[in-house]
Structure 1
Amino acid sequence: MPDSRTSATRAYNSTLRAEQAASTRQRILDAAAACFARSGYAGTSLADIAGEAGVSVETVKLNGPKRELLLGAFEQAFSGSESRETIAESEVGREIRAVADDEEFVAGYIHFVAEANRRTSGLWASFLSAASSDPLVRESLDDLLARRRVDFRAAVAELERRGLIDPAIDDDRRQELADAMSFLVSPESHEQLVGQSGWSMQHYESWLRDTLGRVVFTR
């Protein structure tokens, strides 16, 4: 008859190893994000990531090739998770949509996007650069952009549900509004306004709210 104590010990050890592996991977992805943002994709080696994370190069290799670390680092920095679900499907997306007050909803949405842009500042440029020379990174970028388009269509649908945009608009207009939102809250806008022009994050968020109000919202 199996010893229940032995089974419990094995289960505990298995859980502990899984938690340690997850913690190590998160540290590696954080290190990869820092290295890619600082030195670019081509200028970053697995040894650089290992040194930043305080682990061996072999440990970094076990967590994937460089292109996979780039994607994982970006996903983790943007949303806090490597999950490749859309923002609308994510826990944070559901929490934002659950806010009943329209003003609080808009403020929460803008704050999330602004902070995500801040966390991925520099990393996005490395992603674009890598995609220009690596077909597999290009595929990852195309997938990310496709999910981004889905997210902004979902955002427009939520605004329409709340009566914040004209409910009588047609599908072409919905897509136009989604494209406009994507442009305004893009990583490029954050880089130009915060990174290059020196705006504070508070100013940036205020500008996003005012500009979206003029371009997208009807009230």
Structure 2
Amino acid sequence: MPPRSYTSTLRAEQAANTRQRILDAAALCFTRGGYAGTSLADIATEAGVSVETVKLNGPKRELLMGAFEQAFSGSEGRETIAEREVGRDIRSVSDHAEFLRGYIHFVAEANRRTSGLWASFLSAASSDPLVQESLDDLLSRRRVDFAAAISELERRKLVPAGLTDARRRELADVLSFIVSPESHQQLVEQSGWSMERYEEWLLAAMERLVFAG
């Protein structure tokens, strides 16, 4: 029994490592060539595996979603950021200033890793209904995450007490807008800001537009 168990575990680890390589390769290919301009063969070449291996991890739209999730948060899956280890780690920081720096740094780095991939995602969704469904699911989870972020800010008394449900939703929308991948694309990629300046701006924008309630 132990040798069989060991072999099974080894195969599972190898499969997981292969999938991670495929998703990393998909992220690069989709960013460079767009969704329509990327084939499974392109992904296979980039990952150093066969096309059949990529197909076993596909179809392409699922590779797009998995690639985005892995690039954004470090792993794929339907869990919100708040439910993932990275979200729990950020919330566990008791010092408010350190918590905010950690949150801003995570978002900024996630945007840096996924900015081009996000553009490909949006473009693909505009012409492929199945990709649009994946995008809608991702945006739904994103809304849950920003609602959770506002709740955490309330718990820490970083926003005024007594917010109505409608105002909470508004603040979540504002926060989502501030830290969107588009903000990184415009300020860092198009305007040439450094990542340090970008993080400073994110924090200042949160203080002005969210903390005031």
TM range (shorter): over 0.9
Q: Answer yes or no: is 1:43 the counterpart of 2:37.
A: yes
Cα drift, residue 218 of structure 1 = 3.8
1: CA distance between counterparts of 2:26 and 2:71?
10
**Preserved CA contact (<8 Å) 2:115 2:182:** no
Q: Select 2:61's aligned residue among 36, 61, 67.
A: 67
Which residue does 1:187 correspond to in 2?
A: 181
In structure 2, give the amino acid aligned to 1:216: V
Which residue does 2:162 correspond to in 1?
A: 168
Q: Answer yes or no: is 1:26 the counterpart of 2:16.
A: no
2: CA distance between counterparts of 1:175 and 1:214?
17
1: CA distance between counterparts of 2:212 and 2:118?
32
Larger radius of gyration: 1
Q: Where does structure 1 lack aligned partners over 5 or more consecutive residues? A: 1-6
Cα drift, residue 134 of structure 1 = 1.1
SS state of the match for residue 99, structure 1? coil
* CA RMSD after TM alignment: 1.0
SS state of the match for residue 94, structure 2? coil
Q: Answer yes or no: is 1:156 the counterpart of 2:153.
A: no
2: CA distance between counterparts of 1:195 and 1:84?
29
TM-score under structure 1 normalisation?
A: 0.95
1: CA distance between counterparts of 2:124 and 2:205?
32
Which residue does 1:4 correspond to in 2?
A: none
SS state of the match for residue 70, structure 1? helix
Question: Could you report, residue by residue, the CA deviation over 1:12-38 in whole angstroms, capped at 9, with x for unpaired residues?
Answer: 111111100100000000000000000
Question: Could you report, residue by residue, the CA deviation over 1:137-191 in whole angstroms, capped at 9, with x for unpaired residues?
Answer: 1111001001111111110010011000001221111111110000000001110
**Preserved CA contact (<8 Å) 2:68 2:117:** yes
Cα drift, residue 121 of structure 1 = 1.6
Count of paired positions: 213
2: CA distance between counterparts of 1:177 and 1:65?
37
In structure 2, give the amino acid aligned to 1:54: G
Q: Answer yes or no: is 1:201 the counterpart of 2:195.
A: yes
Q: Where does structure 2 lack aligned partners over 5 or more consecutive residues? A: none
Which residue does 1:55 correspond to in 2?
A: 49
TM-score under structure 2 normalisation?
A: 0.98
1: CA distance between counterparts of 2:156 and 2:129?
41
Which residue does 1:213 correspond to in 2?
A: 207
**Preserved CA contact (<8 Å) 2:19 2:57:** yes
1: CA distance between counterparts of 2:163 and 2:66?
37
